[in-house]
Amino acid sequence: MSIKKTESYEEALEKEELKEEREQAAGGEFASFDDALEAEKEQAARDAQAKADLDLPPDPDVLLEVRHLKKYFPIKKSMSGKVLVSLRAVDDVSFKLKAGETLGIVGESGCGKTTLGRTILKLHEPTDGQIFFEGQEIAKYKPSKMRPLRTQMQIIFQDPYSSLPPRSTVGGILSEPVKVHKIVPPNEVKDYVLKIMEQCGLRDYYYERYPHEFSGGQRQRICIARALTVQPKLVICDEPVSALDVSIQAQIINLLKQLQTTMGFTYVFISHDLSVVKHISDQIGVMYLGSMVEFGDKKSIFENPLHPYTQALFSAVPNPNPDVKMNRIVLKGDIPSPANPPKGCKFHTRCPMAKEICSHIAPVYKEYEPGHFAACHCYPQGEVNGPVKAVSLQDEAGEN
């Protein structure tokens, strides 16, 4: 506050107060802030970081490394074919995943989980970014170059009903990829398939049966067995239990865990349900509107969830300890469209902790403790000096 010498103290104070009142009435500290220019600056900074990271060698200690991955779907084009509006389904996502570990990806429907999984497998062509699989940069691989890698990267879908061909027997479905990819000599195919079926909890007489004869849980076991026949290293499980009854969900998750122990698979496990992800994951990534808003190992995410969105997701998970009182945090409003995400922090339109800065400046995605990243203005945006403690939404929810 600057006070002119000719004015009395009271006059100056009154003027300052008036000025502050006017600023607040006009929109506060950011009243004359140019949001569009800020968004451009943020994008330029992100692009510059992605460019700088291009030359970094891949991490030799991980199976999968994703850097600044983007998948934009064009939704409006000009007459000449120029893209006018894109839907940013995956927008600058980076993470690393070690062999034999499970990364759980959570977030509400439409936040880009499936697109992320499919883009990693190159079932969608990435718009930008790098994907290192065992140190090979596959993001720009042509389909012919991807072919030999296809067996090493498999996907299990949510819907076990539509993902199995109805006119083939279970034996036929499971034998086909084994024959196509010449996994074992032709005379050993049946024995090999029966062994995989046994590992997946499928009886040998199922070999001659058809998918429609089975329940959802059994069909998902067939889908898992089919993915495993080609001995993949990475399996993307896209909501593999969401269509199943709760008791069956636990069985399928236990099967996936068991197969991981015996066969050393690496999973990306996608789910909208944090309680499901909790049981299987080593690392957890929380997505909102195409962005990773928090990422870390299970312990840090569960014991010290930093991002208000993660905390809101947690509040919906029943706590088995009756002494721990959790208030359900109900987020207001609908999820905005990824074709036109809110400026600043994409979550600000629904965040109970939102401050004025949140609607103008996007928070930086920073590492707050080793391997634990978050993007939120509640935490230091510059230098981080030691681990930070979560700002809790629970206190606010308790007052409601």
Residues linked to residue 95 through DSSP beta bridges, in sequence order: 66
Q: How far is the CB of 45 from ligand SF4 (least distance, A)?
A: 17
Taking the least distance from each CB to ligand ADP, the nearer of 149 and 335 is 335
Q: Which is nearer to ligand SF4, 51 or 355 (CB)?
A: 355
Distance CA 184, CA 222 (A): 19
Our CB check for ligand SF4 shows the closer of 280 and 293 to be 293
Closest separation in Å from C-beta 114 to ligand ADP: 3
Task: Indicate whether 271 belongs to the interface with Mg ion (CB under 5 A).
Answer: no
Whole-Å CA distances, 78 to 74, 88, 351: 11, 18, 36
Of 42, 41, 40, 19, the C-alpha closest to 31 is: 19
Q: Which partner, ligand ADP, ligand SF4, Mg ion, none, binds residue 111 by CB below 5 to 8 Å per kind?
A: ligand ADP
Cβ nearer to Mg ion, comparing 276 with 357:
276
Shortest distance (Å) from residue 379 CB to ligand SF4: 8
Spatial separation of the C-alpha atoms in residues 12 and 278, rounded to whole Å: 58
Q: Which option in Mg ion, ligand SF4, ligand ADP, none does residue 73 bind, with CB closer than 5 to 8 A by kind?
A: ligand ADP
The answer to whether residues 151 and 234 touch, using CB atoms and an 8 Å cutoff, is no
Residue 26 beta carbon to ligand SF4: minimum distance, rounded to whole angstroms: 21
Q: Which does 376 bind (CB under 5 to 8 A by kind): ligand ADP, ligand SF4, Mg ion, none?
A: ligand SF4
Q: How far apart are CA 186 and CA 279, in angstroms?
A: 38
Which of the choices ligand ADP, ligand SF4, Mg ion, none does residue 347 contact, using the CB cut-off of 5 to 8 A by kind? ligand SF4
Question: Which of ligand SF4, Mg ion, ligand ADP, none is residue 89 near (CB under 5 to 8 Å by kind)?
Answer: ligand ADP
Positions in the binding site for ligand SF4 (CB under 6 A): 307-308, 345, 347-348, 351, 353-355, 358, 363, 376-378
Residue 390 DSSP code = P
How many other β-carbons are positioned within 10 Å of the β-carbon of residue 372? Answer: 20
Tokens describing residue 310: 């993660």
CA 392 to chain centre: 22
Q: Mask 106-135, x = binds Mg ion (CB under 5 A)?
A: --------x---------------------
Length of the chain: 400
SS3 at position 75 = strand
Instruction: Kindly tell me which of 16 and 125 has the beta carbon lying closer to ligand ADP.
Output: 125
> C-beta of 144: minimal distance to ligand SF4 in Å?
43
Among Mg ion, ligand SF4, ligand ADP, none, what binds residue 58 when CB lies within 5 to 8 Å by partner kind? Answer: none
Helices within the chain (DSSP H only): 9-25, 35-54, 113-120, 143-150, 170-180, 189-199, 216-228, 246-263, 274-280, 298-303, 308-315, 394-399
Please give the residues from 202 up to 241 whose contact with Mg ion meets the rule CB under 5 A: none
Q: Which residues bind ligand ADP (CB under 6 A)?
A: 73, 87, 89, 107, 109-115, 338
Residue 281: Cβ within 10 Å count: 24
| Residues at the interface with Mg ion (CB under 5 A) | 114
